[in-house]
Amino acid sequence: MLCFFLGHRDAPDGVRPALVQAVERSITQHGVTEFVVGHYGSFDRMASSVVRAAKVVHPTIKLTLLLPYYTNHLANVGEGYDGFFYPEGQEAIPKRAAIVRANRYMIDHCDFLIMYARHIGSNTREFMDYAERKFQRTGKPQIINLAD
How much is the pLDDT for 74?
54
Q: Which of 35, 23, 110 is nearest to 65 (CA)?
A: 35
pLDDT at 87: 87
Give the pLDDT confidence score for residue 73 in this predicted structure: 52
d(CA 43, CA 4) in angstroms, rounded, equals 12
pLDDT of residue 71: 66
Q: Do residues 68 and 98 touch, judged by C-beta distance below 8 A?
A: yes
Task: Report the alpha-carbon distance of residue 26 to residue 126 in Å, rounded.
Answer: 23
pTM above 0.85, yes or no: yes
- CA–CA distance, 2 with 50 (Å, rounded to integer): 16
Domains and CATH numbers, the chain: 2-121+136-145 (3.40.50.450)
Question: What does the alpha-carbon distance between residue 41 and residue 20 come to, in Å, rounded to a whole number?
Answer: 17
Residue 24's φ and ψ, nearest 5 degrees, are -60, -45
**pLDDT tens over the chain, length 148 residues:** 999 999 988 899 999 999 999 999 999 999 999 999 998 889 999 999 999 999 999 999 999 999 887 665 555 556 789 988 888 888 888 888 988 999 999 999 999 999 998 867 678 888 888 999 988 898 888 899 998 8
Residue type, 45: R
Classify burial at 138, counting beta carbons within 10 Å of its beta carbon; exposed 0-12, middle 13-18, buried 19 or more. Answer: exposed
Query: In this structure, are strands 34-37 and 2-7 parallel, antiparallel, or unpaired?
Result: parallel
